[in-house]
Structures are given as C-alpha cells and as structure tokens.
C-alpha cells in the first residue's frame, strides 16, 4: 500500500511538472484545467485555486475556467472564514475582523458583514479598515449619507487609505459635492502620484466643480502641490499607529510582532522595517525618525498594489515578493498572508542574512 501511494504521488508530481512546462511554452485553457485537477489530485486545493486564478486572468474568455475558478474561490473563502473565526476567538485583532467581513461581503452575506464590522468596531474602534468595509456595504446599498459617515471615519483614522479616499470621493460625487471629491482625490495623488484611474476621476470632479485641471504627471510635481491636508498632516510623525489604532498594544501577538520588526532592524545594513495591512495601515514599524510611518505604509502599499495587480500581465504569475533598488538603498517587499512587510536596507546589506531574517519573521507572523 505505501508503495502504491508513493507511485501515485510520483505519477501526479510528474504530471504536474509536465503540465507546468507545457504552460510555460504556450498556455491554453485546457492545460490550466488539467494542471488544477492534478494539484487537486495531489491534495493541494490552494495551489489548484491559484492555477485557476492565473488561467482566468490569462484566458478570460474561457467560461469553464471562470466557472471552476469561482467554485474554487468559494471553497477557499469558506476555509478562510473558519480559520479567521477561530483566530478571532484565540488572538483577536482588527485586521481579522475586517478580513472576515470582506469574505462575508464577497459571498453576499450582508447581515453577517455588518454584524462582523460592528463587532470589530466595538472591540477596536480606532482601526480604519473596518469602517471602510462598512462604508462599502452602504455604497452597495446606495445609502450615501451612511456611507459618508463610515468612510469619513475611516479616512480620519487613516489619511493614507487609498480605497477609503477613492470611495469617499465617488460618494461625494453622487451627493453633488465635486469640490470635496477633488480634494480627496488630490490627497491620494500625494502618495500615489501618476495613478491614471485617480487622475481620470479628478479630471471629472474638477470639471463638475468648475475648477481648472492641470495634470501633474511626474512624482516631483505632486509633492509641492495642492495637497494641504495630507502634506501638512504628514509632517506630524504618526508615531505608533499600531498602538494607537489597534487598541491592544499589550497583546502577546502585538508584542511579538513589534519585537520581530525591531529584530529585523538589528541585521547589519537594515535601516528600518514596516508591516502594513492590505489597506496600508501600519501594524508595526521601526523606521528612522525622518520617515513618516503612515506615509511609508501608503507608498509601499501603492507599489505593492500596482505590482501585484499586474504580475500576471508581466508573466511572473501571482506576486510573491519584490526588491526595489534605489540610489540610496533597497526596499524588500514580501507578502505575508493578508499583510505586507517592507524592509529598508543599505545597498551593501548581506542578502543571505537578510533573507533568513525575513523568513524567520514571516514564520512568526504566519504562526499567529
């Protein structure tokens, strides 16, 4: 029996390798479906779902892939919901509430979404992400005033939240407040310069508000611009947003994550590290005093968002990590579950040592 198991596993693995190799050459819908089946047969449903997701992105006209991907995603969401509910009971934190609410929302379970958001807000009232999910629900219901209340709260708690600012601008437009919408869109351009979707919305908002629209293409122009609200706010160091927003700085999880981030900075050549959630909110950070944590979080999230959304188009598959090299140092970006870790380092950092430290930190985060 063990020999038969071994043989079956060997045969499945060989088939996976062969299909992967064929897909590298000329991808077809059939190959994606066969590869997903092979991963499923090997007992790896997560990998099967990833393959279908990739196939759906590459061959969006194939209805069978789209159908199978939707099914696989539904199963993945159910598994994640169970995992999050357990985690909330054992190690509650606001990101888990927001993520769980998003999953309920994706399955159209509005009552559960609202209930989860309300519980999250009650437990962690200073976390902007949960207000954002609640705001999204009100937008779907076209309850514009309620949406404004939740989204303004979200933006008040996190002035660099791309999604909240964008949605708030759209709601202002619905309410006939184009000047307010334009202001929020300009806030976004401060940390997402050149974002074409935002520039397009800003052009429309300015036209409606009767204001002149001057496109600022380069990043250089945006910093000196009209973004009084954000730029003045950014001069104030946000400080420990993690402590301020999450409400439970003394929880064992927060302590361990903060210690892990601090530990990363002890690697020779590392100048700072920051852990942000999917909305760009800072979970933990240890940066030099000149860098505003909130702004760094927003900038990193913007780069991550742009790169990960386009990774399939770039033929690399789903985004795993990125390394930005600048004139004065490097930034390593790693996706960790529903969070993003960015480590700032000098150009001469020992890469092997840094990668090991990042792996150790990843294990720490994923364990919780």
Partner 1 sequence: MKDILSKLNKTNGIRGSMIVNRDGIVVHSDFSVEVAETGVGAVASSILSALEGALKRIQMGRFSRFIITGAENKVAMVDAGQAILLVLLDREVNMGLVNLEIKDAAAAVREKSKM
Find the part of the chain contacting partner 1 (CB under 8 A) among 33-41, 159-167, 179-187, 299-307: 299-307
CA 367/CA 365 separation, integer angstroms = 5
Contact pattern for partner 1 over residues 233 through 262, marking x by CB under 8 A = ------------------------------
**DSSP helix/strand/coil, 271:** strand
**Smallest distance from partner 1 to CB 286, Å:** 14
Beta strands 339-345; 270-277: pairing state: antiparallel
**Smallest distance from partner 1 to CB 292, Å:** 9
Q: What secondary structure letter does DSSP report for 348?
A: T
Residue partners of 58: CB distance under 8 A and separation at least 6 = 27, 32, 312
CA 36/CA 330 separation, integer angstroms = 36
Find the part of the chain contacting partner 1 (CB under 8 A) among 64-72, 98-106, 259-267, 294-302: 294-302
Query: Is residue 294 a contact residue for partner 1 (CB under 8 A)?
Result: no
CA 11/CA 349 separation, integer angstroms = 43
Find the part of the chain contacting partner 1 (CB under 8 A) among 104-112, 130-138, 254-262, 327-335: 327-335
Please, which of residues 164-203 interact with partner 1 by CB under 8 A? 191-196
Please, which of residues 328-367 interact with partner 1 by CB under 8 A? 328-329, 331, 344
User: Is residue 149 within 8 Å of residue 123, measured between CB atoms?
Assistant: no
Joined tokens for residue 338: 């529903």
**Smallest distance from partner 1 to CB 199, Å:** 11
Name which position in 93, 150, 302, 357 contacts partner 1 (CB under 8 A): 302
**Smallest distance from partner 1 to CB 317, Å:** 3
Query: Is residue 279 a contact residue for partner 1 (CB under 8 A)?
Result: no
Order the strands of the 329-336 sheet from edge to edge. 282-286, 270-277, 339-345, 329-336
Please, which of residues 206-225 interact with partner 1 by CB under 8 A? 218-220, 222-223
Give the DSSP per-residue string, 4-15: HHHHHHHHHHHH
**Smallest distance from partner 1 to CB 282, Å:** 14
**DSSP helix/strand/coil, 294:** helix
Query: Is residue 61 a contact residue for partner 1 (CB under 8 A)?
Result: no
CA 110/CA 99 separation, integer angstroms = 14
Distances in whole angstroms, Cα of residue 239 to Cα of each of 235, 254, 264, 270, 295: 11, 15, 19, 20, 11
Interface residues toward partner 1, by CB under 8 A: 24-27, 50, 54, 191-196, 218-220, 222-223, 290-291, 295-296, 299-300, 302-303, 306-307, 310-311, 313-329, 331, 344
């Amino acid at each position: 029996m063990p020999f038969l198991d071994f043989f079956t596993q060997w045969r499945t693995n060989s088939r996976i390798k062969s299909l992967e190799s064929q897909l590298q050459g000329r991808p077809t819908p059939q190959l994606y479906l066969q590869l997903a089946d092979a991963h499923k047969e090997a007992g790896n449903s997560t990998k099967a779902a990833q393959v279908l997701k990739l196939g759906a992105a590459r061959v969006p006209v194939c209805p069978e892939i789209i159908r199978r991907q939707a099914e696989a995603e539904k199963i993945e969401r159910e598994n994640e919901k169970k995992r999050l509910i357990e985690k909330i009971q054992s190690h509650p934190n606001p990101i888990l509430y927001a993520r769980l609410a998003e999953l309920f929302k994706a399955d159209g379970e509005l009552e559960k979404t609202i209930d989860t958001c309300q519980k999250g807000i009650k437990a962690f009232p200073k976390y902007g992400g949960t207000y954002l999910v609640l705001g999204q629900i009100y937008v779907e219901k076209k309850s514009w005033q309620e949406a404004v209340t939740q989204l303004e709260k979200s933006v008040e708690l996190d002035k660099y939240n791309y999604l909240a600012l964008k949605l708030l601008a759209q709601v202002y437009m619905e309410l006939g407040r184009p000047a307010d919408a334009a202001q929020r869109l300009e806030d976004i351009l401060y940390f997402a310069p050149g974002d074409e979707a935002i520039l397009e919305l800003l052009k429309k908002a300015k036209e409606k508000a009767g204001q002149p629209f001057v496109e600022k293409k380069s990043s250089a122009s945006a910093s000196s611009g009209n973004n009084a609200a954000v730029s003045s706010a950014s001069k104030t160091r946000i400080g420990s947003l993690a402590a301020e927003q999450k409400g439970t700085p003394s929880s064992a999880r927060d302590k361990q994550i903060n210690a892990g981030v601090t530990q990363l900075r002890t690697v020779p050549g590392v100048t700072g590290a920051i852990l942000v959630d999917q909305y760009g909110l800072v979970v933990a950070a240890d940066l030099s005093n000149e860098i505003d944590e909130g702004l760094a979080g927003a900038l990193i999230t913007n780069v991550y968002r742009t790169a990960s959304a386009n990774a399939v188009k770039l033929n690399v598959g789903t985004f795993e990590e990125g390394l930005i090299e600048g004139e004065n140092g490097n930034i390593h970006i790693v996706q960790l579950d529903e969070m993003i870790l960015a480590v700032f380092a000098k150009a001469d950092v020992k890469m092997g040592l840094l990668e090991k430290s990042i792996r150790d930190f990843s294990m720490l985060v994923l364990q919780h």
